[in-house]
Amino acid sequence: MAKIIDGKALAKKMQKAIADEVAQLQAKYGRPPGLAVLMVGDNPASAAYVKNKETACHKAGITSFGKHLPASATQAELEQIIDELNKDDRVDGILIQLPLPDHLDSVALLNRLDPDKDADGLHPNNLGRLVRGEEGLRSCTPAGVMELLAEANIEIAGKNAVVIGRSILVGKPLALMLLEENATVTIAHSRTKALAEVTRKADILIAAIGRPEFVTADMVKPDAVVIDVGINRVTDDLGKSRLVGDVDYDSIVAIASHITPVPGGVGPMTVTMLLHNTVWSYRRKFAEGGSRNQ
């Protein structure tokens, strides 16, 4: 049976360390770190994520500057709010909760963020720093996956890693992070031919495609490390719903060497890395001599 990589336990440990660091830094710098989360509309899943993030901020001693806007909010309104947050010296991190309503241009809004306050590491400057292997803010979910691999003492260098999914949120940045750790990386996607043949070569297999239990046991190499980034709500014939990942956990847990559960695997690490990024930006600001906006 595979060893379970417990994201909930690692998140708890890291968030405790972040809270301790924040207490020390606040005493030194005179104010706490600040995170602004922008949410537009009333998407239930987004609302739940935002609530979790705000709760985690409170526990870590990070001030939350939440902005919850109606679905009718305009591009100009969002741009004005982002401009104000970019200039606000109390705010060290800004997160735009995706997805946004269809009438909004999320790419333009992400590009409008101050790159040094881009808490989810999605601004082109931060993605460029990742490509170049330079220090910078990293996308939260992929960074959380890397922390989980490190916690489980998974050797990455020289291993074959396959990432199923090519999104800018997870697949592409995660492939770059694995490459940075000297893995041989393959990105698979909806048009990959003979997908199972590709995935069976993976020493480290990461599913990030948003399709419930898509990865089955016949697609996994024995003793592979399997990381499940997906979180999907499915409903059975009796109308009862549950959360499942992108991998068929029950069949794969018997053949993998390590596996992350859903829930309780990657999910808690995404919020943790958001806190980490906010504190990183806060610490860097003061190390550079105070506000970048003065």
pLDDT at 292: 43
Annotation-wise, does 4 bind a ligand? no
List the single range of 196-210, 217-231, 236-250 with lowest mean pLDDT.
236-250
- Residue span of the structural domain in which 199 resides: 140-268
Instruction: For residues 167 and 91, state if they share a domain.
Output: no
Instruction: For residues 252 and 170, state if they share a domain.
Output: yes
User: Using one digit for the tens of pLDDT, what is the confidence trace for 38-90?
Assistant: 999 988 878 888 888 999 999 999 999 988 999 999 999 999 999 999 999 99
**Nearest-angstrom CA–CA distance, 259 and 271:** 20
**CATH label of the domain that carries residue 237:** 3.40.50.720
Is 291's pLDDT higher than 90?
Answer: no
Annotation-wise, does 167 bind a ligand? yes
Give backbone dihedrals phi and psi of 163, rounded to 5 degrees, phi first. Answer: -110, 120
Cis peptide before 212 (omega within 30 of 0): no
pLDDT at 290: 56
Annotation-wise, does 166 bind a ligand? yes
Is 18's pLDDT higher than 90?
Answer: yes
Instruction: For residues 112 and 146, state if they share a domain.
Output: no
**Nearest-angstrom CA–CA distance, 158 and 145:** 18
N residues, the chain: 294
Residue 124: inside a domain, yes or no?
no
The per-type count for the chain, helices as H runs and strands as E runs, is 10, 12
**CATH label of the domain that carries residue 100:** 3.40.50.10860
pLDDT band at 253 (very low <50, low <70, confident <90, very high): very high
pLDDT at 294: 35
Structural domain tally of the chain?
2
**Nearest-angstrom CA–CA distance, 243 and 263:** 7
DSSP 74-109: -HHHHHHHHHHHHH-TT--EEEEPSSPPTTS-HHHH
Judging by beta carbons within 10 Å of its beta carbon (0-12, 13-18, 19+), is residue 101 exposed, middle or buried?
Answer: middle
In terms of Cα–Cα distance, which of 205, 264, 280 is closest to 35?
A: 280
Instruction: For residues 238 and 162, state if they share a domain.
Output: yes
Q: How far is CA 122 from CA 125, 139, 167, in A?
A: 8, 6, 11
Annotation-wise, does 257 bind a ligand? no
pLDDT band at 244 (very low <50, low <70, confident <90, very high): very high
pTM of structure: 0.94
pLDDT (average), residues 107-126: 96
Instruction: For residues 105 and 175, state if they share a domain.
Output: no
**Catalytic residue list:** 53, 97, 120
Judging by beta carbons within 10 Å of its beta carbon (0-12, 13-18, 19+), is residue 257 exposed, middle or buried?
Answer: middle
Instruction: For residues 182 and 261, state if they share a domain.
Output: yes
pLDDT at 16: 97
Is 288's pLDDT higher than 80?
Answer: no
Residue 9: inside a domain, yes or no?
no
**Nearest-angstrom CA–CA distance, 254 and 267:** 22
Taking residue 256's Cβ as centre, other Cβ atoms within 10 Å add up to 24
